[in-house]
Amino acid sequence: MEKKIILPLLMVALILSGCNSNVKQNLSISNFSKTYTVTSWNILSNNSYVGNLQSQNTTFLGFKLPWRITNIYAKEWNIVKKWQLLATLDGNEIKTQYNSTKQILASLWSMYNNTKKMFDAKIQSTRAKVAQVEAGMQWIKTGVWDTQKITIEQLKTAKEQINQAKIWLETMKTNLVHTKQVLKQKEQDIYSNSKNAISQTKILLNNFLVFTDQLFWISDKYRGKNSNFISYLSAKNTALKSTIKNKWLVLNSKYQTWKKNTNTLLNDIKNSKSVVNDKKLKQRIYDNLKQSKELLVLSRELASKVFTAVDSSVASRSFPQTMINQYKKQSSIYQNNIESALLTAKWNFIMWVKWSIQNIENFQKQSSMQLNLLQKKYELTQADYKTAQQIYKQYKAMSAWKVNEVNTKYEVAKQQYQQALQWLQALKEQEQTQLSQIKSQIDQVKWNRNLAAVNLWNIRLYSPYAGVITKKIWNIWQVVWAWMPVLAIANYKQLKWVFYIPLGETRKLKAWDKIIVKWLWETTSGNISVIYPSANPISKKIQVEVKLNKVPKNWVLWMYITWYPKDSNYTWLVIPYDTITYRYWKAYVLVKNNKKFKEKNITLWKCNADICIVKNWLKYWDTIKE
């Protein structure tokens, strides 16, 4: 009993004897082994908080194309100008592609001009023949010609025309049959590739939706999987989570409907004897490709939001920066694959959504035009053959020296004149068709050349604004993915001040409080823009950011600045640091009550390595357990 009375008295004597020294030296807790007694302490606070200047705007720069880095012209902490060249990729293949398309384009233009010259010469020659036939027709009409001589010569010519027309008729018929077979095989290949494109799109969209669902807890299927870091995910921009969830629900709803229809379509394709002979099935494939493209466009928008959200995350012990970088890398891969499926003919996953749609549309136009042209040629050849037969019969009848000999010759000449006009028109149509085909190829090669020119620009990395290079992530000769960060640049003109404050002292601050910041003789004002919700578990300090109203000229990026708040007197209760326990970011201690220990929540004001000052719920002489 006497020991229980003497021990608190000794504790009070020790505390009162050290009132003029700091708390850690005068409140020794080394003599306590199991329990401690709550005491009070009077302290004069003259704190200062040191932090460094950071940029308000930091941007990670990456190439739009994946390939090997050949040059990096900026080092860390270099100051760069707006649009200054920072790095380049290996562009030999793109340059080769660009030069190749230029050569092909020149060749096509040469073919275009030569074809036009050839047809112009034929048309000019045919026009001369038309004029000649017309003149002959007029001459026959006047009865100047020697009827018998003309009949013999024309009968011979007509016989030769019959033989020539027959040869051309067989040739045109063979070309028409062969072209139909070739087009049928080409159409089968197009719809086979379209089926593969649909299947690959379904896999890509499914994997991306599952990845996003697992990461952001959107559906109940994966809820709670990443509970250890969900609060740090996109913590710098929490509104993105709601946006991603809404976009994911819209995309997933459309995808599930599309997936059901796609499974039915793929099954119908599998069971079909001939896809190219089934117009309804071909239309369903084309419509599905259009829907695939719309879903890829929506997924591209969602993928961009996912990448931004992951990039806006706050690193912590349970969510380290390496994990954030991994998720950013995964989302970048999905972005690249989706972009490839939308914009390119072939890529790593061989997704040809755009290419399949374009092939189907081009095939429908070109095959119809080609078959119509051949069919028209065949019909013209048939007409020539029939005309030659008719001319031969007419000339044969003329050999009987009938009374209407001259009139018959005139009718034959008239038919020749009409035939020459038809042939002239056919030459004009054939010229227009072939020139249109060459022009279509020229337009396609122009598109490829322009794409190569754009890629030549995209292998260069420029500074988007004047700033300082804060980090070089990759080195030369390393291969990077598209949009993968290569350099980090910060705006050194728009700065913010970042400092750390003990957990218990944050109650004195609130967002948008105005403070005065000093460095040497220079002073500026600012407002608190961010007070982070959780403290570092080791230092027990919370990060605070201050948006400066005006930055002095001598203040530079990463400079350390000190803030001196006004002096204040405080009288608080003091307990040892080892007696404090944490649960869900709340502190509590075990307090003795009727020979039992019960939990009591506490609010901390200031702590060091040994003691903490408590603001509520305890009273003098409470006994607490370690």
Q: Is the pLDDT of residue 32 over 70?
A: no
pLDDT at 23: 32
Lowest mean per-residue pLDDT among 48-62, 92-106, 571-585:
571-585
- CA 522 vs. chain centroid, Å, equals 46
Q: Is the pLDDT of residue 10 over 60?
A: no
Buried b (16+ CB within 10 A) or exposed e, 168-191: bbeebeeeeeebeeebeeebeebb
Residues near 202 by Cβ (< 8 Å), separated by ≥ 6? 259, 262
SS3 content of the chain, % helix, strand, coil (to 5): 55, 20, 25
| Predicted TM-score (pTM) above 0.85 | no
Q: Are 281 and 195 in contact (CB under 8 A)?
A: no
pLDDT at 390: 74
* CA distances for 518 relative to 52, 115, 477, 546, angstroms: 12, 80, 45, 13
pLDDT at 59: 87
- DSSP calls for 208-267: HHHHHHHHHT-STTSTTTTTTTTTTTTGGGTHHHHHHHHHHHHHHHHHHHHHHHHHHHHH
CA atoms 416, 421, 427, 433: torsion sign: negative
Query: Once rounded to an integer, what is the mean pLDDT over residues 570-583?
Result: 74
DSSP lists the bridge partners of residue 501 as: 542
Residue 120: Cβ within 10 Å count = 12
pLDDT at 606: 66
* CA distances for 255 relative to 207, 219, 303, angstroms: 12, 15, 15
Query: Once rounded to an integer, what is the mean pLDDT over residues 391-418?
Result: 68
Kindly state the percentage of the chain with pLDDT values over 90. 2
pLDDT at 570: 44
* CA distances for 484 relative to 66, 328, 342, 351, 381, angstroms: 8, 9, 19, 22, 62
Among 141-155, 169-183, 430-444, the range with the most confident prediction by mean pLDDT is 430-444
Residue with token string 């081009």: 362
Query: Once rounded to an integer, what is the mean pLDDT over residues 414-438?
Result: 82
pLDDT at 564: 58
pLDDT at 73: 92
Q: Is the pLDDT of residue 209 over 60?
A: yes
pLDDT at 7: 41
Query: Once rounded to an integer, what is the mean pLDDT over residues 331-349?
Result: 71
Spatial separation of the C-alpha atoms in residues 148 and 167, rounded to whole Å: 29
pLDDT at 258: 92
pLDDT at 443: 87
Query: Once rounded to an integer, what is the mean pLDDT over residues 214-220?
Result: 84
- Domain 2-54+494-625: which topology? Elongation Factor Tu (Ef-tu); domain 3 (2.40.30)
How sure is the predictor about 248, in pLDDT bands with cuts at 50, 70 and 90? very high
pLDDT, the chain, mean: 76
pLDDT at 335: 86
The residue extents of the domains of the chain are 2-54+494-625, 62-89+459-490, 92-144+407-448, 189-377
CA atoms 613, 617, 621, 624: torsion sign: negative
Which has more pLDDT, 549 or 489? 489
Residues 279-306: pLDDT tens digits? Answer: 888 888 888 888 888 888 888 889 888 8
Spatial separation of the C-alpha atoms in residues 392 and 389, rounded to whole Å: 5
pLDDT at 490: 87
SS3 assignment, position 617: coil
Number of residues in the chain: 626
CA atoms 603, 608, 609, 610: torsion sign: negative
Torsion angle of alpha carbons 130, 135, 137, 142, nearest 10°? 170
Residue 119: Cβ within 10 Å count = 17
Q: Is the pLDDT of residue 106 over 50?
A: yes
Tokens of 218: 């959107």
pLDDT at 264: 87
pLDDT at 309: 87
Query: Once rounded to an integer, what is the mean pLDDT over residues 205-222?
Result: 86
pLDDT at 479: 83
**Domain 62-89+459-490: which CATH number of 3.10.20.740, 1.20.120.330, 2.40.40.20, 2.40.50.100:** 2.40.50.100
- DSSP calls for 282-309: HHHHHHHHHHHHHHHHHHHHHHHHHHHH
Q: Is the pLDDT of residue 423 over 50?
A: yes
- The CA angle 587-593-597, to the nearest 5 degrees, is 50
Query: Once rounded to an integer, what is the mean pLDDT over residues 229-254?
Result: 87
Query: Once rounded to an integer, what is the mean pLDDT over residues 248-258?
Result: 91
Spatial separation of the C-alpha atoms in residues 332 and 406, rounded to whole Å: 86
Among 159-173, 419-433, 572-586, the range with the most confident prediction by mean pLDDT is 419-433
Spatial separation of the C-alpha atoms in residues 559 and 554, rounded to whole Å: 10
Query: Once rounded to an integer, what is the mean pLDDT over residues 587-605?
Result: 83
Q: Is the pLDDT of residue 376 over 50?
A: yes
Spatial separation of the C-alpha atoms in residues 516 and 586, rounded to whole Å: 31
Q: Are 460 and 314 in contact (CB under 8 A)?
A: no
DSSP lists the bridge partners of residue 42 as: 571
Residues 59-95: pLDDT tens digits? Answer: 888 888 887 888 899 888 888 888 999 999 887 878 8
Kindly state the percentage of the chain with pLDDT values over 70. 73
Among 45-49, 113-117, 251-255, 415-419, the range with the most confident prediction by mean pLDDT is 251-255
